[in-house]
Amino acid sequence: MDLQFIATAQEQVRRQRPLVHNITNLVVTNIVANALLAIGASPVMAYAKEEVADVASVSAALALNMGTLDERVVEAMEIAAKAANSKGVPIIFDPVGVGFTAYRNEVATRLINQYELTVVRGNAAEIGYLVGAGGTVKGVDSIDAGDDLTERMLQYAKVQNCVMIATGAIDYVTDGDHVWALHNGDELLGSITGSGCMLTGVIGAFIGVQPRFASRAQIAKASIAAITSYNVAGELAVLASKGPGTLQSKLFDELYHQQGESLVLRGRVEQLY
């Protein structure tokens, strides 16, 4: 598979510096912002219901993350999502912990059903729960997912008119017509808080440089580029680190110094069907 599109997308992010509006996990607000800055994007972390519509309307992408839910956060997410939809701003939704509590299930279902989401990204168990493939979630961590995950993801993406992403030892991406398996990354990334949350923000940046109302196929390719960029940086950061403490700072460094052509050489993307 020709991976030149990954280098092109990465260069677009650095050139265009997309503004990514994040309503994200309060535990990881700082590191999500740092990851976006490292890749050349411009993060804004706006949560107040009085301003989220204004911010979402002028952003290149809106990233919604359910990591630390409360009534005010959910209200802000809904106001921002409505504004983003009205302006054609793409939304990436990270249903953190869905399948763990009834409240998270209710919020995820409401956001998915009431708003046009461009990308839904979660770990394999979270996505498995959403698409009906089964999955066990412990807190915000994935324990397992069903055997027919990719097939159900494909059907779900087609019905919901979105791109579905399940991340794990292998990352799966589908636009409702095709499914790709992404083989980069390292298990040590799971040892730092917010590794998935950072990835959600990075995907938002790569989607944010696509044309407004881009096709699902275009969004899927941008998502593949974002995940490959992040995971290749993670692989190199692991090699340069001594453990979780140094891994986080090395990850920012690798994202900052990353060259598009190295992604073409190191990327491992497989189209399953």
Q: Do the annotations mark residue 193 as ligand-binding?
A: no
> Is residue 118 annotated as involved in ligand binding?
no
Residue 45, annotated as binding a ligand: yes
- 91 backbone φψ class: left, alpha, beta (φ>0; ψ -120 to 50): beta
95, 66 Cβ separation under 8 angstroms: yes
The answer for residues whose C-beta is within 8 angstroms of residue 259's C-beta and 6 or more apart is none
User: How far apart, in whole angstroms, are the C-alpha atoms of residue 80 and residue 62?
Assistant: 8
User: What tokens appear for 16 in the block?
Assistant: 């265009």
Q: Tell me how far CA of residue 46 lies from CA of 56, 261, 268, in angstroms.
A: 9, 34, 35
- CB of 106 closer than 8 Å to CB of 71: no
Q: Is 167 annotated as contributing to ligand binding?
A: yes
Separation of alpha carbons 162 and 119, rounded Å: 6
- Binding-site residues for substrate, in ranges, read 45, 194
Binding site, annotated residues for ATP:
121, 167
Binding residues: 45, 121, 167, 194
